[in-house]
Chains A and B, each alone.
Chain A
């Protein structure tokens, strides 16, 4: 009776294969600008609001693995993010990588001691000009008025255009059913949060800056557990703590040259305190 997204896709695929609607589809994709995806949304009650949410990652506050793992767990536990051993199946909302992978092109011959071994925290950059939003054929990913690049799981058809478009690797595809178990019988989701949905096989997911927490007046889970290492705030508010840091410390963004205008900034130097 009812058809799910995969059945729909199969039918749609067959139809396209017969050459029906193929060109219409391409024209439709061409015409869609970013603006079409920026939907209006109503005022909130008691939630945190901003003109454009952003974040500073202060690497000097992440001294050891525990500092980093605490922040990752805070996010992955409340959002039911599954853990897959096979790196090809990895699903991640916030993760780490080396300096050279985080800031390619910024590495040099003689670098600050320890920098290359240091794990850098990464999450969705919630770009001002998000490439993922441009390519999404169903507007499953869209930019909210407050700058958050949001995922609507109900519309995701799993085409992975957004993954190809995102230069930051911030998106993960569910190759396997996240509710399943590994060979040892351990569930992929280590700790279930019954208040938040899981995802299913065949959809793409990523960080949402904790929209469900902002609505309740709470900071994103990672920022809350970061002991000041992740500062969340309004980039457009000159009086925000975030802007104070950006005014007083030297910060960089990932892959600036691509022009997507990331909203996540990094303080890299380690010796001076805020």
Chain B
């Protein structure tokens, strides 16, 4: 088998491969580390046992479903029964529940969501702790 202009073709291929893999070199070793949501808020630090509504693994995967459940039970079924975490009562609420503990929305919720490119529209209506102060 004879490859006409073999040298030129191979040279071209190498350049081509180099070009299309640029994004990989460009990103190598950065920005790919998974986010580490921070838990060092005053309320969480004051907890005797560092627990969430459900175990951590379930929270990670299912927290949107829990929020959905909560809003249906509060708004539609008028069931505002408190939940108990580590002996303390918390409200079934986004801004007055989750964010009482996770008051560092930027370093917690947003960390993951930015990484995962999800952008919940909840904050158009529900307040975040920072806005509370203004």
- Chain A positions within 8 Å of B, measured between CB atoms, are 1-2, 4-5, 39-42, 44-45, 47, 142, 144, 146, 150, 152-154, 179, 192, 194-195, 197-200, 211-212, 215
Contact = CB atoms under 8 A, between A and B. Distances in A.
Interface stretch (B3-11, B19-27, B49-57, B76-84): B76-84
Contacts of A200: 121, 124-125
Interface in B59-88: 71, 73, 75-82
Contact of A211 (B73, B78, B96, B119): B78
Given A1-B119, A4-B121, A194 B75 contact: no
A160 to B, nearest CB: 18
A42 B121 contact: no
B76 A142 contact: yes
A42 B120 CA distance: 28
A47 B81 CA distance: 10
Nearest to B64: A2
Interface of B: 71, 73, 75-82, 95-96, 116-121, 124-127, 131-132, 134
Contacts of B120: 2
Q: What is the interface of chain A mostly: helix, strand, loop, or mixed?
A: loop
Contact of B118 (A2, A153, A154, A211): A2
12 contacts: A2-B118, A2-B121, A41-B76, A41-B77, A42-B78, A42-B81, A44-B78, A45-B81, A47-B80, A153-B75, A179-B124, A192-B127
In the A-B complex, the 9 residue pairs with the smallest Cβ-Cβ separation, listed nearest first, are A200-B124, A41-B77, A194-B132, A197-B125, A42-B79, A41-B78, A215-B80, A4-B121, A197-B126
Nearest to A142: B76
Nearest to A7: B121
A1 B115 CA distance: 12
Nearest to A198: B125
A39 B76 contact: yes
Q: What is the interface of chain B mostly: helix, strand, loop, or mixed?
A: loop
B71 A154 contact: yes
A152 B95 contact: no
Contacts of A179: 124
Nearest to B116: A1
B119 A2 contact: yes
Contacts of B95: 194-195, 197
A42 B80 CA distance: 9
A1 B117 contact: yes
Nearest to A4: B121
A199 B127 CA distance: 11
Contacts of A1: 116-119
Given A5-B121, A199-B125, 8 more contacts: A1-B118, A2-B120, A39-B76, A41-B76, A42-B78, A44-B80, A146-B78, A153-B125
Given A194-B131, A195-B95, A144 B119 contact: no
A39 to B, nearest CB: 6
Given A2-B119, A2-B120, A150 B80 contact: no
A179 B71 CA distance: 22
B77 A39 contact: yes
A153 B124 CA distance: 11
A198 B123 CA distance: 9
